[in-house]
Amino acid sequence: MDHFQYRNGELCAEDVPVRRIAKDVGTPFYCYSTATLRRHYEVFAAAFAGVPATVCYAVKANSNLAVIATLAQLGAGADVVSEGEMRRAIAAGVPPKKIVFSGVGKTRAEITAALDAGIGQFNVESDSELALIAEVAGTMGKRAPVAVRVNPNVDAGSHDKISTGRKHDKFGIAWPKARETYRAAAKLPSVEVVGVAVHIGSQITSVGPFTAAFKFIAGVVGDLRADGHTIRRIDLGGGLGIPYLDETPPSPEEYARAAIREVGHLGCELVLEPGRLLVGNAGILVTEVLHLKDAEGVRIVIVDAGMNDLVRPAMYGARHAIIPVAEAARDATREPADIVGPVCETTDRFAKEWPLAPVRTGDLLAMRSAGAYGSAMSSTYNTRPLVPEVMVNGGDFAVVRPRQSFASMLAGEAMAPWLTPATGLRSKAIR
């Protein structure tokens, strides 16, 4: 369920007509619903009621400060994969002790910053990373809390580009190799082993892969305890899918039942890292129809949003429902249309043969389920400014990221001194 519904023929975000927002901020823009964020978090957290569990929102799904802050106020921690995401989480009000730092490529600077901040856990993904964390922590006179991310060799059954738990994927350490990593960690005075971690991918629409991964990790915990390690925390990762069109992923309750059934008897605190599940259906991308054309019998609708604004269709072949902001008549004929953007790439296409009622230049369309991996993965390709992000709360709305200006884009660059300098662009030669 989300809070983007038609009222009197107009698409509304909670109590705010989307057309009103478009008039104020222009198109394209992202719009997020506070009520939807709250509902998704509360339903997920309630599924683990009575279980010692911390919900750490996966910031990579949508790193807008207002989104993170909304979830933090509900009690969420954060799963981060960079120093930048960590700083965003802290700025948004997430307590450092509720931050988990994941990712395969942590740098010395990032480890230092995370130890300075006092985060709750590093998810270690290689032996060399463990050595670096130990070195940095020792130099700082600190003890780093770590969990080793174990790769269970479970195929999540989702898109190849978002599967992370197979033996050839770059994430985690295979078992039993990870057993040796734990033995090494136990000998490092600047490292504290606090748990074990697993994560098998994203947009998973069956409970089977989760069950397999959770069952596997329960066996790992048993083996590690037999080796003398104190395992008090299990990080189960995230990955639970959402309905974009016709998908029927497990409910949070089904997911929780599988987790509790497989690892609940171990007496560990659970760490859960939902991302897409919380924010995906809480956001839409609103765009304006620029031009209509016929390409040898193919109906083409050209809009002002581009693949730089929402790259998922181009990168993954992802499908988003696309609806008119002004509700189409029930008897309107919906004919196939290719909905494309202005970016100079053939792959700049949001939908192929999408059933769409007649539209005219100037009409507004909304791409649903765009709250996850939309703005977070956007770019300025073709020197197109980043689009604004808007947060709605009941009958109020606020711009929580303004539209980037061309002036600010150019201000971030400098002309080499041996070139004819453009106005306002200066640089220094490095000798």
pLDDT grade for 234, boundaries at 50, 70 and 90 = very high
pLDDT score for 145: 98
pLDDT at 431: 57
421: confidence class by pLDDT, cuts 50, 70, 90: low
Tell me the C-alpha to C-alpha distance, in Å, between residue 210 and each of 56, 187, 205, 266, 321: 18, 32, 10, 17, 27
Percent of the chain with pLDDT over 70: 93
> Is the peptide bond prior to 176 cis by the omega test (within 30 degrees of 0)?
yes
Calpha distance 54→42 (Å, rounded):
13
Nearest in space to 123 (alpha carbons), one of 234, 285, 288, 33? 234
Sorting pLDDT into bands at 50, 70 and 90, what band is 164?
Answer: very low
Neighbouring C-beta atoms of residue 425, cutoff 10 Å: 13
| pLDDT, position 202 | 87
CA distance 96 to 89: 8
pLDDT digits 0-9 by tens, 351-403: 999 999 999 999 999 999 999 999 999 999 999 999 999 999 999 999 999 99
Bin 426: left if φ > 0, else alpha if -120 < ψ < 50, else beta: beta
The pair of three-digit structure tokens given for residue 7, joined into one six-digit string? 């009222």
The CATH architecture to which 33-278 belongs is Alpha-Beta Barrel (3.20)
Q: Provide the CATH number for the domain formed by 4-31+280-410 in this structure.
A: 2.40.37.10
Query: How far apart are the C-alpha atoms of 101 and 80, rounded to whole Å?
Result: 5
In which band, very low, low, confident or very high, does the pLDDT at 151 lie, cut at 50, 70 and 90? confident
pLDDT the model gives residue 414: 87
Q: Is 56 a catalytic residue?
A: no
Tens of pLDDT, residues 48-90: 999 999 999 999 999 999 999 999 999 999 999 999 999 999 9
**What is the DSSP track for 347-378?**
T-EEEEEEEE----TT-EEEESS-SSSSGGG-
* Domain locations in the chain as residue ranges: 4-31+280-410, 33-278
- The length of the chain is 431
Helices (H), 54-176: 65-73, 83-91, 108-117, 127-140
From the list 276, 256, 185, the residue with the least C-alpha distance to 214 is: 256
DSSP 108-131: HHHHHHHHHHT-SEEEE-SHHHHH
Give residue 426's pLDDT: 61
Condensed to tens digits (0 to 9), the pLDDT of residues 285-310 reads 999 999 999 999 999 999 999 999 99
